[in-house]
Amino acid sequence: MQIASLPVSTTAYQQASSPAIGMAVLSKALDSAMVSGQNMIKMMEQSVNPDLGTNIDIRI
């Protein structure tokens, strides 16, 4: 392997792998957004009960 051909192969590898890396990052961001959305839906479903927390039982 000649030293002169090394930068060319490195540049070709970077150009080929760059879209794949971008898609992987985008996929992770999409998964994270879906989990956050599902958690938000669960929280909103739990807050539908208007009587929850209105009474406090205290004994002295």
CA–CA dist 52, 31 (Å, integer): 32
User: Tell me: the pLDDT tens digits for 8-54?
Assistant: 566 666 666 778 888 999 999 999 999 999 999 998 888 777 677 67
The answer to whether position 30 is within a domain reads yes
CA–CA dist 7, 13 (Å, integer): 10
The answer to whether position 33 is within a domain reads yes
What letter represents residue 21's amino acid? I
The answer to whether position 58 is within a domain reads no
3 or 30, higher pLDDT? 30
The answer to whether position 20 is within a domain reads yes
What letter represents residue 30's amino acid? L
What is the domain extent for residue 19?
Answer: 13-39
pTM: 0.52
pLDDT at 8: 55
35 or 58, higher pLDDT? 35
